[in-house]
Amino acid sequence: PKTLRILVLPGDHVGPEIMAEALKVLDVVEQSRPDLRFQRDTDLVGGCSIDKHGVPVTDVVLEKALDSDAVLFGSIGGPEWAGAQPTPESGLLELRRKLNAFANLRPCEILVPSLVGASPIRPELVAGTKFIVVRENCGGAYFGEKREETDQASDLWVYSRSEVERLAQVSAAVARMLHASIAGGGDKSPKPVVWSADKANVLASGRLWRRATSDIFQREIPDVELRHQLADSMAMLMVKNPRQFNHSAIHTDNTFGDILSDISGGITGTLGVLPSASLAGVPGDGSCKGIYEPVHGSAPDISGKGLANPVAQILSVAMMLRYSFLLEEEAAAIEQAVIKVLDSKDNGGLAIRTGDLGGKARCSEQLGLPIPSSIEPLKVFAAYHS
Ligand code: NAD
Ligand code: IPM
Ligand code: MN
């Protein structure tokens, strides 16, 4: 069989709990495809790596990541490493940079109509929300020169035109993908739409962002409509009327993308269902390497109790299959299986949901199935009951 090599980095706190469930789903995919083998190598990252090796990511792990076809990442950090230098979090940043995973796709979607109840936003406003934040992932304030003294500190927030341009190509590709996925009619805009969020009114890097984005759209991306929005007002609009961004890509810098994608968790009512893909290329241009990780952190407040929602990690597996392995059918099957499990309609009125979605299920009950023989969603679901 064809071998696909995955570096598995569960990380800290809930990371290993949700990773265990996601790997079961990967097992199911593997069993349905005798022509494929997912070869997994598991290693340490974050706080657990600091404890063992003194650093949040070792050179060995970075080399393994470069050598693999994809990295499946859990979550890192926690109060026990407060004040540690380097921080657990810097391990993830090094990994993103090493793999040049510059485009971080963070979908926000109300997966199932009945999940509107988990959102703090009124159902008639939030139902059917679906957009993707495309966050620049290897530049900006995260990676500029840092100075840290006791009483003064600074982070250089720098972008070059080429960094903005390569992300614009990804944002356009994502917008085209979302636009193509809508059935014709009603609220389908004539062209795919990209919303670019910046602070061009205050930051020099924001003005560069806007210039570079406008220029490349004008030069090379005439088929996609570009709209500019200041990032602060974007945050407000996402909460006030999330559906106005439907089927569009939100093209934004590293810091704003971090914050806006946690606002997505406010829209869904939990971070526990939000996956992400940090890609080293343009989706749709063949396979690219990537790091697949939930948007959320290590959730130390609920770790060790089986309370974590594994859906974000499971949907990150689906993104890995889609973007790094070009297994669209399998990716979609996982997404459908997740929907089946979450939807009360399919479960005799009792959806299988963890506490963050108002349910009582444990982490391992949500798709943590006795491994069924096919990923065909109905069978996955049936296996849950067997
Ligand atoms: P967090 O995302 O870990 O948690 C925020 C809230 O969401 C908490 O109440 C948590 O219980 C809840 N939550 C998160 N994931 C959940 C899940 N799967 N199921 C149910 N509820 C879930 O944010 P935080 O508490 O600010 O950060 C904790 C640590 O995680 C920090 O050290 C932070 O730096 C780190 N962090 C890591 C990553 C990553 O590894 N990619 C991302 C964000 C934060
Ligand atoms: C995220 C996290 C990370 C970030 C941290 C843990 C480095 O918050 O993936 O959203 O800020 O990018
Ligand atoms: Mn974040």
Q: Write the pLDDT tens digit of every residue in 96-151.
A: 999 999 999 999 999 988 899 999 999 999 999 999 999 999 999 999 999 999 99
Nearest to 7 by CA among 251, 291, 229: 291
* pLDDT classification of 31: cutoffs 50, 70, 90: confident
Confidence of residue 183 (pLDDT cuts 50, 70, 90): confident
pLDDT of the residue at 375: 46
Q: How far, in Å, from the CA of 368 to the mean position of ligand 3?
A: 26
Domains and CATH numbers, the chain: 1-101+299-386 (3.40.718.10), 120-268 (3.40.718.10)
Closest by CA to 144, choosing from 195, 229, 56, 203, is 203
Q: What is the mean pLDDT of residues 169-173?
A: 98
Instruction: Please provide residue 194's backbone torsions phi and psi, each rounded to the nearest 5 degrees.
Output: -115, 130
Task: Name, of 77-81, 303-307, 337-341, the range with top average pLDDT.
Answer: 77-81
- Ligand 2 pocket check: which of 92, 133, 134, 256 to mutate, most ligand atoms within 8 Å of Cβ? 92
Average per-residue pLDDT for the chain:
92
Say what the pTM is.
0.95
pLDDT of residue 341: 83
The answer to whether the CB of 258 is under 6 A from ligand 2 is: yes
CB under 8 Å to 265, separation ≥6 — which residues? Answer: 271, 274, 295, 296
Cis omega (within 30 of 0) on the bond before 120?
A: no
Average pLDDT of the residues in 361-383: 53
- How confident is the model over 179-194, as a mean pLDDT? 85
What's the CA angle centered on 302, arms 320 and 6, to 5 degrees?
Answer: 20
Q: Which residues line ligand 1 (CB under 6 A)?
A: 11, 14, 18, 75-78, 89, 92, 270-272, 293, 296-302, 308-309, 312, 356
Residue 310 and residue 366 in contact, taking contact as beta carbons nearer than 8 Å: yes
Average pLDDT score over residue span 362-379:
53
Burial (CB count <10 Å: 0-12, 13-18, 19+), residue 58: middle
Residue 186: pLDDT band with limits 50, 70, 90 = low
Q: How confident is the model at residue 378 (pLDDT cuts 50, 70, 90)?
A: very low
Q: Return the minimum-mean-pLDDT range out of 38-42, 59-63, 321-325, 381-385.
A: 381-385
Burial of 5 (0-12, 13-18, 19+ CB in 10 A): middle
Length of the chain: 386
